[in-house]
Structure 1
Amino acid sequence: MSSKRGKLAGRRGSVGQSATPITVDTAHLERVPQTVLDAPEDVVAFWIPVDDVRPSPFQYRYHVDEGRLQALMGSIAARELYQPITVRPLQAGVYEVVLGHRRLEAFKRLGRGAIPAIVREYGDAEAIRALLDENLKRADVNLFEQTEGVVRLLSLELGLVGEPVAAVRRLLEEMRAVKRSGLALQEPGHIGAARIIEDVTGMSWESFLTNRLSVYRLPAPLQEKVRRGMPYSLAVATGRLTPALQGQALAFLEHEGGGWRSREEFKAWLAGHQTPAARRPDSLRLQQLARSLDHKELRGEQAVRVTALLDELEQLLA
């Protein structure tokens, strides 16, 4: 593992597990005995009433895996050994969950009155970053969910104006224009965006622009499918179909009870359902699009979008 990757993994592993002193008053809270904590010895946790914990407005994980949640509930009930959640104080006696949304849901379903919690004084940007770090450690991390978290973090930390996705796209495309002109990134916002993206995702801002933000070009129904676990590559392929065929494709791709078919299965299914006109070789389609591009004058947002799509295509074919 490279030193950069090692540092990133180390920071992720320590999220919410430090005994750093806080200034918020915890004298009224009951300390959780270390003997019931499934956590490092330096963790200080308190019993927080479940009804006093509010959900986070920054939580970007939309899909709750019912099977995993039931397994977690069973583990909590059987072992009585707890990994504390992390909360931040909102006002006297009211807290907001930062880390541990699934554990909080499990405690609620089990009818528990209180939950072990670490109390931290996170700001909004710190809360989003902690969520990103925590979810990156999960085996079932959804890259669309992670992308939405990064977009929110960039918008908040850099003070971007307007709808977050559009604002982040404008910023990154501005950065790409600077780079194409042969200049180095010098604006604080440009440098900050590049640092945040690499720090959180381990990828460059250019790769994030090309490979992650492109998900927002999908139709809204397909975006929702990706949020709930549909592989992005299948969503892109489905989005290229006619509306009538899209419905049939989704019915084929999504297994009952969850899960998605492979790309190979989809290709085989598609070969038997596309009309001959729809089966034109990709090379012919590219030639036809190139001819159309030669005879069309693109301006403004349309030109920016076509350039972004061409960049994405070049990367896919490289």
Structure 2
Amino acid sequence: MSKKPERRGLGRGLSALMADVNIEPNQDNTVPRRPESFIPIEKIEPNPEQPRRHFDEQALQELADSIREKGVIQPLIVRAHPSKSDMYEIVAGERRWRASQLAQLHELPVIIRDFNDTEVLEVAIIENIQRADLNPLEEALSYRQLMDRFGHTQEKVAEALSKSRSHIANLLRLLNLPDEVQEYLRDGRLTAGHARAMITADDPIGLAKEAVSKGLSVREVERKAKSPTAEKKPKNRPVIEKDADTRALEADLSATIGMKVEINHRGEEGGTVVLSYKDLEQLDAICQMLTKL
């Protein structure tokens, strides 16, 4: 039976690992780190658990051209191979390794670290998050991996990666969208703003198709996401008189959280509490309050 990763706070698991991950979008404007040694390229192998599976061929070729001209500016991070003697496994830098093969380099600059399997995967995920070409869905999946596999909270991930918690929360909500909408987002036909507006829509797939075919703006999608719910409300709903205590409680809650609160109490049957938000920032505030309960 495989052993589950230890659930821990930042410790060495995130903050210390961050110091080792230094990703360059290209070979320019980057402060090089000093390599500990140079290793023949044939003695280096990729990590089979690397979460990033797709490497754009054109971007790799551009990096290979840069490497031919300037060399590998940023050393790879490697560890001793867990099962092969005199071999090394990539912890961070597989893209540079692939491009160096295209450039026909014979050896690569490396920094050798003594990482266990859990830390190797964690660094690989952090490396992917820092990449400039990551789409919103890939970024959200990387955050989810850090949280689910290693027990990190949104607050800890935000702190370690210098992101706002609302940024991470907004991206994670994209994972609740139907697969078809996620596919539109993945291939760039929808922006993250479009997709976030569809989260509360009654028919997110239909709205996504309309947004793509008509080229709707984010604001237009937001309006359409709200309108179906409004249309479904009964026009002649009987008015239920609320007692003074209920109205006072609604007013107190509304003043406390800064949003409209409606309490519908049905006696022994229970009831509902409805929070009305005006925009995505208020929705994020509601999510933060609920997750802290």
TM-score normalised over the length of structure 2? 0.55
Q: Would you say the 8 A contact 1:144–1:227 is kept in 2?
A: yes
1:216 paired residue number: 175
CA distance in 2, matches of 1:290, 1:115: 69
From 53, 66, 83, the equivalent of 1:75 is 66
In structure 2, do the counterparts of structure 1 residues 101 and 227 end up closer, same or farther at CA, with 3 Å as the change threshold? farther
Equivalence map 1:124-143=2 (5 Å): 124-143=117-136
1:193 aligns with 2:153: yes
Residue identity matched to 2:181: L
Offset at 1:227? 3.9
SS of 1:83's equivalent in the other structure is coil
1:148 aligns with 2:153: no
Structure 1: give runs of 5+ residues left out of the alignment.
Answer: 1-9, 18-37, 159-191, 254-261, 271-278, 296-302
Offset at 1:44? 0.4
Larger radius of gyration: 2
CA distance in 1, matches of 2:230, 2:212: 26
Q: Whose helix fraction is larger, Structure 1's or Structure 2's?
A: 1
Offset at 1:88? 2.3
Residue identity matched to 2:45: V
SS of 2:153's equivalent in the other structure is helix
CA distance in 2, matches of 1:281, 1:215: 15
CA distance in 2, matches of 1:223, 1:316: 20
SS of 1:139's equivalent in the other structure is coil
1:288 aligns with 2:281: no
| Residues 205-229 of structure 1 deviation map (CA, whole Å, 9 limit, x = unaligned) | 6x47742321111122332443455
In structure 2, do the counterparts of structure 1 residues 83 and 73 end up closer, same or farther at CA, with 3 Å as the change threshold? same
1:57 aligns with 2:49: yes
Q: Would you say the 8 A contact 2:60–2:95 is kept in 1?
A: yes
Equivalence map 1:41-190=2 (5 Å): 41=34, 43-50=35-42, 52-60=44-52, 64-89=55-80, 90-91=82-83, 92-158=85-151
CA RMSD of the aligned region, Å?
4.7
CA distance in 1, matches of 2:102, 2:58: 14
Q: Would you say the 8 A contact 1:86–1:119 is kept in 2?
A: yes
SS of 1:69's equivalent in the other structure is helix
CA distance in 1, matches of 2:103, 2:213: 35
SS of 1:122's equivalent in the other structure is coil
Residue identity matched to 1:150: Y
In structure 2, do the counterparts of structure 1 residues 64 and 290 end up closer, same or farther at CA, with 3 Å as the change threshold? farther
| Residues 250-304 of structure 1 deviation map (CA, whole Å, 9 limit, x = unaligned) | 4676xxxxxxxx836x95xx8xxxxxxxx87935734736999x99xxxxxxx9x
CA distance in 2, matches of 1:212, 1:81: 33
1:315 paired residue number: 283
In structure 2, do the counterparts of structure 1 residues 312 and 142 end up closer, same or farther at CA, with 3 Å as the change threshold? same
CA distance in 1, matches of 2:146, 2:225: 41
1:263 paired residue number: 217
Residue identity matched to 1:47: I
| Residues 82-133 of structure 1 deviation map (CA, whole Å, 9 limit, x = unaligned) | 4221122322244332211221221233344543322212223423443344
Structure 2: give runs of 5+ residues left out of the alignment.
Answer: 1-14, 23-30, 238-262, 265-271, 287-293
1:29 paired residue number: none
In structure 2, do the counterparts of structure 1 residues 45 and 69 end up closer, same or farther at CA, with 3 Å as the change threshold? same
